[in-house]
Amino acid sequence: MSGFSRQAALVAAIAFTAAAAGFWVARLMPQTPIAVSAAPKPSVNGALEGQPAPSLSLPDTEGKPRTLKDWPGKWLLVNFWATWCAPCMHEIPAFIAAQTRYQAAGLQVLGVAMDDPDAVRTLMQEKHFNYPSLVGDEAVQGIMERFGNTIGALPYTVLLSPDGVIRYIELGGVDGPKLEMLMQRFLPL
């Protein structure tokens, strides 16, 4: 037998022995079911829907302090975002379209950026925002937590009715069709 044949026979023998050992170990071990659970969902407090919105006070991109009361009688679609957040960039056109389409029905989109004011201002100009954005760093994190986002993930969107009640919460990006369904649900044209 050649050296190659002996080596192939040895590898085959080792593989057969390992397979046989695995078979017998599996047969002789007690069969205990293994519990497999789905991955936990991010912690977002949906129980806040139907509750009054917490207060919010942050500067806008020009440094002027703003609160939710600056938009009385409006449906506020509050979107927590950042310039460095790829899913946030993807949903901006949908918010611009919603602001245009539903403004007459009482909608006001409001960005809340966890970012530097200069970066936000620059991006808002590049993307032709038609809605305002407030800015902050650590303060935005605390505000998101009060609005139910306990994991600090972006983007995060909350719809507030004109009476200041949380009506809808969404963790993750919102695309055009989903946003249109949401608007039709609460602000039908």
Q: What is d(CA 15, CA 3) in angstroms, rounded to the nearest whole number? A: 18
Taking the whole predicted model, whether its pTM rises above 0.85 is answered as no
Helix (H, G, I), strand (E, B) or coil at 37: coil
Which tens digits make up the pLDDT trace of 24-81?
Answer: 434 444 443 333 333 334 446 567 899 999 999 999 999 999 999 999 999 999 999 9
Q: How is domain 50-186 classified at the architecture level of CATH? A: 3-Layer(aba) Sandwich (3.40)
Phi, psi of 156 (to 5 degrees): -145, 125
Which tens digits make up the pLDDT trace of 81-108?
Answer: 999 999 999 999 999 999 999 999 999 9
Which tens digits make up the pLDDT trace of 115-133?
Answer: 999 999 999 999 999 999 9
